[in-house]
Amino acid sequence: MKSSSMIVGVCGVMVAALGVPQTVPPIAAQTTAQTAIVPAQLPPGRVSEGLRGVYVTGDPLRLTSENMNVGKRISFVACPYMRDSDPTPLWYADYDGETYFLRAQQNLSAAVRHPQLKHKVLVEGVISPESRVGNGVVLNPLRLSVLPEVDVNCDRLLPADGSRIMNPKRPPGPGVDGGEREAGAERNRQNAARLWAFEYQPDPVERAVKVFEIPFDFDGGIGAYQAYGQVVAAVKYARDVDASKVEIIGHRASVLLSNGEPLVERAGVEKDRAQTVTTIFNDYPFDPGTVVTRWESEPRAADGGADWDKRTATVIVTPASR
């Protein structure tokens, strides 16, 4: 491993080669250099959550060509691959001669779920003007869906290329926010207990029929962390307005890929979605008959827009009349 404190300029980007000792798995140990970049080189607050600073290859020609595509929506299925970095690995996928940055490894609090080797991933996003991460074009917004069937051809784990992520969000190893996390867990427990209580004390809310759209991965189940919270938000509203009716409707959808081909979700996913949301509602004490569940088997048509918005279960909460 090269050890140096030299600072060099590459394509106008300041790169520092650091000799930071670390204990890493074998694949990372294959790296021949470690480089760093000052976080200020990234558009603040834009590039993918999970990255507060990352090495960027500042290739002006590529940036120029990307500018022509900024705002272009792109959807494709590919094998994702991971490149190790210090300390946080990065996910990429290649499509039509281009490399796309998918995300940095984070934890379950990430808004976008992580890809998986042994599985293809459906990538849906919009090309962002943000600088490349590694050599990958940034997509923002971005949705990733791990396709359920095993594909052993998706198996690329690459050694570190010298990139060093500065201050990544929730890098490998222990966290530093234990107290905050414990406080959050305690709040969750208390909120759940309050919401579950038969004698619930409602919060004052505007009483109206309210619609909640619960997002799902393509062909898949609930995105465990965030979607659960969105269903619970619907549960809370239903309790706050003493709902007379909660209608849960599972949907099936499709995606229009960038190559022009449609990708339709499996039959039955609409039922699974409806039942998943119903299961969460049934964890709370609603009167019998309040929660009504149905599903629509006809896939919602794709139009090449934000097709991911159609992969939902709809929750319609009707307040009790006073």
Partner 1 sequence: MHAKEPVVRSNVVRAAILVATAALAANAVAQQESTTGTLAAISGFVEPGASVLFEPHMEFPNEQGTIAVTFEGPAFNTKGHPFFTPGPNGRACISCHQPIDAMSISVKTLRERWDVTQGSDPLFDMSDGGNCPNLPRAERSSHSLLLDRGLFRVGLAWPPKDAAGKPIEPEFTIEVATDPTGCNTDATYGLKSAQPTVSVYRRARMAANVRYLESAQAPQNTKTGLPLVRDPVTGIHSSMSIMSDARVPSLAQQAQDASATHMAIPITRAEANVLVEFQRKVHAAQQSSNVGGRFDAPNTPPALGVKALIEGRGNPPINGNDTDTGVFLLMDEWKGPATPGDKAAEFKASVTRGYDIFFFRPLWLRDTFGINNIGLGNPYKQTCAFCHNTQITGHDDVPGWMDLGTNNFPHAAAAPELPTFKITCKAEAAPHPYLGREIYTHDPGRALISGKCADVGSLVMQQFRGLGSRAPYFANGSAKSIREVVDFYDRRFNVGYTDEEKADLVNFLLAL
Q: Pick one of 79, 117, 126, 166: the residue that binds partner 1 (CB under 8 A).
A: 117
97 binds partner 1 (CB under 8 A): no
- Strands 156-158, 80-83: pairing kind: parallel
- Find the shortest distance in angstroms from Cβ 65 to partner 1: 29
Stretches 60-68, 116-124, 135-143, 314-322: which one binds partner 1 (CB under 8 A)?
Answer: 116-124
Q: How many CB atoms lie within 10 A of CB 229?
A: 10
Q: How far apart are CA 201 and CA 107, in angstroms?
A: 34
**Residue 11: left if φ>0, alpha if ψ -120 to 50, beta else—which one?**
left
Segment (H or E) for 277: helix 269-281
- Find the shortest distance in angstroms from Cβ 62 to partner 1: 26
SS3 state at 279: helix
Q: Which residue bears the tokens 């309040």? A: 290
Q: How far apart are CA 143 and CA 101, in angstroms?
A: 12
Sign of CA dihedral 191, 196, 202, 205: positive
199 binds partner 1 (CB under 8 A): no
Stretches 68-76, 79-87, 135-143, 237-245: which one binds partner 1 (CB under 8 A)?
Answer: 79-87
Site string for partner 1, 35-64 (x = CB under 8 A): ------------------------------
Stretches 58-66, 87-95, 128-136, 161-169: which one binds partner 1 (CB under 8 A)?
Answer: 87-95
252 binds partner 1 (CB under 8 A): no
SS3 state at 34: coil
Binding residues (CB under 8 A) for partner 1: these are: 23-28, 82, 84, 87-89, 91, 105, 107-108, 110, 113-119, 146, 148-150, 157, 172-179, 181-182, 185-186, 188-189, 192, 196, 221-225, 227-228, 232, 268, 276, 279-280, 283
